C-alpha cells in the first residue's frame, strides 16, 4: 500500500517531535534508531524513508529545537530591555527548569551538540551568534550579551543537577538577581 505525501510528512513530523522530546529527556546518543521509531509505533527500517542517517535527524532536531526555543523569542533585533528582562525572568523559573521537553534545548542538548559533527555545531553557532547579536543590540554591549546567555543556560544546567527543589530555586533566584542587577547597571 502506498502512503500519500502528507502521510510521509506527518510521520516525519511525529518522528522529529518524539525524537526531540526523547533527546531532551534522556539524551539522543543513547537512543538507537529502533527506539526512536518504536516511540512513534514504527519499525527501525522505516527510519531511512525519512532521514538518511541518525546524524541527519539530530541536525534537524537541533535546528527545530533552537528555532522554537524560549530564547528564540529574544533573537528579534530591537527588543527592548524590559522585554528582555521579563523573558529572562521566565527563563530562570522553576516551571521552565522542570519543563525539560518543552523548554530550551541548550541545557539538555548542549553537551551532545558539542560532541556532534561540525555541521550540527555550525547550525548551533549560527543560531547562538544571531541571538547574541540581537541581545548585544538591545544591551549595547556584546560581551554582556554572551555573559547573560551563558549565565541563563548554566543556571538551568546547575539547577537540573540538583535533587532538591529548594536548592534549584536558590540557584534560579540567585541568577535572576544577578541578571536583574546587571541589566539595571548596564543602562
Digit-coded pLDDT (tens) for 21-50 = 888 888 888 888 888 888 888 877 788 888
- Where do the structural domains in the chain lie, given as residue ranges? 5-54, 65-185
Distance, in Å, from the CA atom of 130 to the CA atom of 135, rounded to the nearest integer, reads 9
CATH architecture observed for domain 65-185: Orthogonal Bundle (1.10)
Q: In sequence order, which ranges of the chain are alpha helices (DSSP H)?
A: 5-26, 33-38, 54-67, 81-91, 94-98, 106-115, 118-139, 142-161, 165-185
One CATH from 2.60.310, 1.10.1760, 1.10.357, 1.10.10 for 5-54: 1.10.10
pLDDT at 95: 97
pLDDT at 75: 67
**What confidence tens digit (pLDDT) does each residue in 83-140 have?**
888 889 999 999 999 999 888 999 999 999 999 999 999 999 999 999 999 899 889 9
Distance, in Å, from the CA atom of 73 to the CA atom of 115, rounded to the nearest integer, reads 26
**What confidence tens digit (pLDDT) does each residue in 150-177 have?**
999 999 999 999 999 999 999 999 999 9
Distance, in Å, from the CA atom of 105 to the CA atom of 99, rounded to the nearest integer, reads 10
77, pLDDT greater than 90 = no
Distance, in Å, from the CA atom of 103 to the CA atom of 73, rounded to the nearest integer, reads 12
Amino acid at each position: 500500500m502506498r502512503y500519500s505525501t502528507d502521510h510521509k510528512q506527518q510521520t516525519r513530523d511525529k518522528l522529529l517531535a518524539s525524537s526531540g522530546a526523547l533527546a531532551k529527556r534522556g539524551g539522543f546518543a543513547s537512543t538507537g534508531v529502533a527506539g526512536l521509531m518504536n516511540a512513534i509505533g514504527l519499525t527501525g527500517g522505516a527510519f531511512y524513508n525519512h532521514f538518511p542517517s541518525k546524524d541527519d535527524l539530530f541536525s534537524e532536531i537541533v535546528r527545530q529545537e533552537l528555532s522554537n526555543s524560549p530564547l528564540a523569542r529574544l533573537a528579534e533585533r530591537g527588543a527592548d530591555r524590559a522585554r528582555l528582562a521579563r523573558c529572562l525572568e521566565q527563563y530562570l523559573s522553576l516551571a521552565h527548569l522542570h519543563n525539560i521537553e518543552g523548554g530550551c534545548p541548550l541545557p539538555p542538548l548542549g553537551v551532545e551538540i558539542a560532541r556532534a559533527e561540525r555541521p550540527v555545531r555550525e547550525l548551533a553557532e549560527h543560531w547562538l551568534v544571531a541571538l547574541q547579536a540581537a541581545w548585544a543590540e538591545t544591551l549595547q554591549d556584546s560581551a554582556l550579551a554572551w555573559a547573560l546567555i551563558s549565565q541563563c543556560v548554566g543556571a538551568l544546567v546547575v539547577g537540573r543537577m540538583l535533587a532538591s527543589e529548594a536548592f534549584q530555586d536558590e540557584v534560579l533566584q540567585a541568577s535572576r538577581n544577578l541578571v536583574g542587577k546587571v541589566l539595571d547597571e548596564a543602562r
